[in-house]
Amino acid sequence: MISINKSINNLKKKLDHNNLPKHIAIIMDGNGRWAKKKLLPRSAGHREGVKRVREIVEECGNIGIDFLTIYAFSTENWNRPKDEVNYLMSLLIEFLNKELETLHKNNVKINVLGEIDALEENVQDEIKKALIKTKNNSKLTLNIALNYGGRKEIALSLKHIIKDLNKGNISIEEVDENLINDYLYTKGQPDPDLLIRTSGELRISNFLIYQLAYTEFYFTNVNWPDFKKKNLYKALIEYQQRNRRFGGL
Residue 160, in any domain of the structure = no
Residue 122, in any domain of the structure = yes
Residue 11, in any domain of the structure = no
Give burial (CB, 10 Å; 0-12/13-18/19+) of 39: exposed
First to last CA, the chain: 45
Provide the CATH number for the domain around residue 60: 3.40.1180.10
Task: List the one residue out of 70, 102, 76, 73 whose CA is nearest residue 87.
Answer: 73
How big, in percent rounded to 5, are the helix, strand and coil portions of the chain?
Answer: 50, 15, 35
Residue 232, in any domain of the structure = yes
Residue 223, in any domain of the structure = yes
Residue 93, in any domain of the structure = yes
Task: List the one residue out of 191, 190, 161 whose CA is nearest residue 175.
Answer: 161
Catalytic residues: 29, 77
Residue 230, in any domain of the structure = yes
pLDDT for 248 equals 67
Q: How many domains does the chain have?
A: 1
How confident is the model over 48-95, as pLDDT tens digits?
999 999 999 999 999 999 999 999 999 999 999 999 999 999 999 999
Q: What is the DSSP letter of 200?
A: T
Q: Kindly give, in sequence order, each residue whose CB lies less than 8 Å from that of residue 32, ignoring residues fewer than 6 positions away.
A: 42, 45
pTM: 0.94
Q: Which of 12-26, 173-187, 188-202, 234-248 has the lowest mean pLDDT?
A: 234-248
Domain that includes residue 45, residue range: 17-149+191-240
Residue 161, in any domain of the structure = no
Provide mean pLDDT across the span 141-147.
Answer: 98
